[in-house]
Structure 1
Amino acid sequence: MLEWLIAEVFAKYNYWVSIVLMLIGFYAMIAKDNLMKKIIGLNIFQTAIILFFISLGDVSIGGWGGGVTEPIVKGALPWETGEGGAVYANPLPHVLMLTAIVVGAATTAVALALVIRLHEEYGTIEESEIIEKERERELP
């Protein structure tokens, strides 16, 4: 029983790595006071999600990546080969994650621009100091 559990856990190591990276990124976004560290945490979280979805798109039969073919390959269809149906790797998660990479880069660029502007305005990038200075401005 224990051997089966260990084998199943280690067989899905890429999912565990994704989960650990998600937790690290989420912790950095929530617990850190420095805005740059929050942006780094956001990037770690985005990378973990991309890794997770790319892992979901991998179809494995008989080993890592074995027995799969590209979705559109001449001669790979069952009626062309005379054999059983081929197993296809799903390209949709990979295409969606390319879009997510571009969105992540844009999000990072906007966040960095905001941090630069906040530093120019308040002289710090610590969230607690910015909130404190903003509260001092509001008091008459």
Structure 2
Amino acid sequence: MESLMSILIGVFFAIGTYLILTKSLLRIILGTSIISHGVHLLIITMGGVKAGGPPLLGLGSTSFTDALPQALILTAIVINFATTAIFLVLSYRSYKVLGTDDTAQMRGNEDE
């Protein structure tokens, strides 16, 4: 299970890196969001993927997953949603003002 998660994390990081290296502002924002989802999966995998039920229903010597990584992921998902929303609003405003979402054109003429 951990090897499948590792491959999925690598795919998320590769897609996010590809999107960050483009010139479109919207793709850069989506790339950072995809990389953060890869980090979420990485933290869950590092916390240990174990089979078992909730502690109240466990019988005998069953193993349980650690609750701390899950709490950290829940907080990180909320923070990621808020920052992505703010970045999307800022990119929309910059598109309305400047008329483009290309980062090279946003810089304008650097000789001035």
Shorter-chain TM-score: which interval?
0.7 to 0.9
Task: Give a deviation string over 1:20-78, Cα, whole Å, max 9, x none.
Answer: 2112202211x100000111111111111112222333443xxxx2xx343x42775xx
Q: Once the two structures are aligned, what percentage of the paired residues are identical?
A: 27
SS in structure 1 at match of 2:23: coil
C-alpha separation in 1, matches of 2:44 and 2:58:
26
Structure 2: distance between partners of 1:99 and 1:128:
34
1:130 is the counterpart of 2:103: no
Cα distance in 2, alignment partners of residues 90 and 23 from structure 1: 28
CA shift at 1:113, angstroms? 1.1
Which one of the candidate residues 33, 47, 51 is aligned to 2:37? 47
Structure 2 distance, partners of 1:91, 1:50, is 14
Provide the aligned C-alpha RMSD in A. 2.3
Q: What is the letter of the counterpart of residue 40 of structure 2?
A: I
CA contact (8 A) 2:12 2:38 kept: yes
The AA in structure 2 aligned to 1:118 is: S
Higher relative contact order (CA 8 A, sep 6+): 2
The aligned length equals 112
Unmatched segments (≥5 aa) in structure 2 = none
Instruction: Establish whether residue 13 from structure 1 lines up as the match of residue 13 from structure 2.
Output: no
Residues 33 and 75 from structure 1, CA distance in 2 versus in 1: closer, same or farther, beyond 3 angstroms?
Answer: closer
- TM superposition score normalised by structure 1: 0.69
**In 2, Cα distance between the equivalents of 1:24 and 1:93?**
24
Contact 1:59-1:90 within 8 A present in 2 as well: no
Task: Give me the whole-angstrom Cα distance separating, in 2, the residues matched to 1:92 and 1:130.
Answer: 42
Secondary structure (helix, strand or coil) at the match of 2:56 reads: coil
Q: Distance in 2 between matches of 1:105 and 1:35?
A: 17
Unaligned runs of 5+ in 1: 1-9
